A and B are shown apart, each in its own frame.
Chain A
Amino acid sequence: MNMQTGMKLSVAETALCEAYDHAIGELPGDGAVIAARDILISDFKDAGLPTRRVEAWHYTDLKALLRAVPAFDPAASAAKVAPLVEGSTVLSVVNGVADTRGSVDGVTLRTFAEALADGTAAEGLTARDSDDTIGRINGAFVRDGFVLDFPDGTELAAPLEIQTTQNAGQTHTRFPATFGANVKATVIERHVATGDNAAFVTTVSDISLADGAEITWIIFQGQGGADTHLGQIRITLGTDAKLRLYVINAGGKLVRQEIHVVVSGEGSDLQLRGINLLGGETHNDVTFTVGHNVPHTTSTEVLRNVIFDRARGVFQGQIRVAPDAQKTDAKMSCNTLLLSDEADFSAKPELEIFADDVQCGHGATVIDIDHVQLFYLMARGIPENKARAMLVNAFVAEIVEELEDEPLVEALEGVIAAWLEKHA
């Protein structure tokens, strides 16, 4: 495909366009899917990667930050890894290709490649809006993933871990999940590098919770130090549905995780908890939007960021309350522990409230280690470096403990402690 516009393409933009030309023959999909992909790549070519002039990308100038994109590498060696929580059911995608041997008791499961091949996935291959670069790139290139359908009343006994592992090249996955009425499940969406080569990863999950579903969904991003990770989760909440969404970033060089929630059922509750552990030269962006569209719903968003070295963090959080969404209760807070003079964090909270009887608020703080707490720990014989590590850990452990699920809490505290030990 040739460029029709006069815009000068960056190295990364050119690489993506060329990758599309090479990959399109290999990627699964019927005519409708190919047509949808063509529209997305054509829109991408017209718009290019977003710069700081695009409001939604103001703090993450993707055009400047994304210097290169590795070519697809079907031979890249990646391997499954043991699940985060012992005893979990595991569905894995290795180097972009789903392992078809997976199954989950009580859940209807197929690979996303199948849904592309028979065209049922075509409808979802759209961008959310004109600034949806992640939706565009992922929709154009998506190759595999899993389509999960949880029938009404399903209760998973063990956590379900959906893992993608890669070590080079590109991985583009989707994990649409439909949770029927009153489903209870814990899903861990985990993206990890199994080597140090640069990989380019995009992933989009479309999930819907029907009435009364209670879901814990954990996104754990542990990519390598050279990787780009662009993730997006789109969520719809039904009546009395409860979603606890944990987003944990502990890796990657250039990361953006978007969370877009549509609250369309009365009595529903969203709890977003974010932990961003940033070190080295990482640029990490968490962008969240929630639309409270019906009355009597609640959401709380709590982010804890720990930033070392020259890392840079971004949080954009937007709460929209529709005119008839009375009695909405939405509270957002973003707390950052800056542990280096060169570390940086930008928080951009936005409230757009069109109803008059609501409780909405936001707060952002930037703090250093509490020196009284540090003195107390040291006065008990704990050396300074260890005492500091305990306090940093405590800063994020507080929200992990809210999960009140012992194996899960222990597993997450384990990966957090390991990350801190490596970086502190």
Chain B
Amino acid sequence: MLEIKNLHARIAEDGTEIIRGLNLTVKAGEVAAIMGPNGSGKSTLSYILAGREDYEVTEGEILYNGESILELDPAERASKGIFLAFQYPVEIPGVATMQFLKVAMNEQRKARGEAELTTPDFMRRVKEAAAELKIAPEMLRRPLNVGFSGGEKKRAEILQMSLLEPKLCVLDETDSGLDIDALKIVADGVNALRSPDRAVIVITHYQRLLDYIVPDTVHVLYKGQVIKSGDKTLAHELEANGYADIIDAAA
């Protein structure tokens, strides 16, 4: 589903290279965990997948279902099924959460040549998905992410993900700032989306989230490269021994 080949990318503004020859393949149905110390390029990778303009790809390729996405803007990528759950969801005062959800769902449907949702159908979908994630209706009446607690923001991201039904889900440190109950709710939401035609990339610092979202593959990112890949036991190894051994071995 996703093939990243020899990717090099830098910050557009000052030219700092962050991703330095990254290779990664994620198959449909796979849950891939990306771990790594601070500053290894994890969040940058997630932004590049989503198409944020602040980063410039200087070399390499990102193929999604065999096609390059580098020339697509974020909205085009989203309508093709790529979803980024933000580490820091953005507050937008003045944009009502419900209106935002409706526009996003319908714009994606339009881009795919599908009919727009009727209001009752839309309301029903949101109500059901919100109940699963224990999101109170009052929260949905507020402006987008405004006044949401850290945990509420993360749950709102997963709500958007379940409503938009993407094919490639990228979760950027969705576990940060969550207590254990919220973590379980979020993990249940993600697990409910696991399916043979969908891939999930979980970016995290800690093993903890991976107890609830059990990955098929684990990749260690360091200085903008994947330096080691393995199965879920690699995550346990990292938890027990830290990154130092792997970094030393790769050096």
Contact = CB atoms under 8 A, between A and B. Distances in A.
A394 B145 CA distance: 13
Most B C-beta atoms less than 10 A away, residue of A378, A386, A387, A394: A378
Interface size class of B (residues with CB under 8 A): 20 to 34
A399 to B, nearest CB: 9
A375 B94 contact: no
Contact of A394 (B78, B93, B107, B108): B93
B104 A381 contact: yes
B89 interface: yes
A382 B107 contact: yes
A390 B90 CA distance: 14
A380 B111 CA distance: 12
B55 to A, nearest CB: 11
Interface string A378-404: 111111101100110111111001000
A381 B79 contact: yes
A371 interface: yes
Contacts of B108: 380-381
Nearest to B160: A380
B123 interface: no
Contact of B93 (A371, A387, A398): A398
A371 B52 CA distance: 10
B164 interface: yes
Contact of A379 (B84, B92, B94, B111): B84
A386 B78 CA distance: 15
A372 interface: yes
Contacts of A373: 90, 92
Given A379-B78, A379-B84, A390 B53 contact: no
A391 B91 CA distance: 12
B89 A382 contact: no
Interface in B59-80: 73-75, 77-79
A374 B109 CA distance: 20
Contacts of A376: 86, 89-90, 92
Contacts of A396: 94
Contact of B75 (A371, A372, A384, A390): A384
B152 to A, nearest CB: 16
A377 interface: yes
A372 B89 CA distance: 10
A382 B90 contact: no
B90 A387 contact: no
Nearest to B94: A394
A398 B144 CA distance: 12
Given A375-B74, A376-B86, A376-B89, A381 B94 contact: no
Given A393-B94, A394-B94, A387 B89 contact: no
Contacts of A371: 53
Given A371-B53, A386-B103, A379 B95 contact: no
Contact of B73 (A378, A386, A394): A378
A369 to B, nearest CB: 11
B50 interface: yes
B215 interface: no
B51 interface: yes
Contacts of B100: 377, 380, 390
B107 A379 contact: no
A381 B73 CA distance: 10
Interface string A314-335: 0000000000000000000000
Contacts of A390: 95, 100, 103
A378 B92 CA distance: 13
Contacts of B79: 381
- Which of B50, B90, B93, B94 has the most A CB atoms < 10 Å from its CB? B94
A375 B86 CA distance: 11
B199 to A, nearest CB: 17
B74 A379 contact: yes
B50 to A, nearest CB: 5
Q: Residue among B84, B107, B164 with the most chain A CB within 10 A?
A: B107
A379 B46 CA distance: 11
A273 to B, nearest CB: 14
A378 B79 CA distance: 10
A409 to B, nearest CB: 11
Nearest to A371: B53
26 contacts: A373-B90, A375-B50, A375-B52, A375-B90, A378-B51, A378-B74, A378-B78, A379-B50, A379-B51, A379-B52, A379-B74, A379-B75, A379-B77, A379-B78, A379-B84, A380-B164, A381-B78, A381-B107, A381-B108, A387-B75, A390-B100, A393-B94, A394-B95, A394-B143, A398-B143, A401-B94
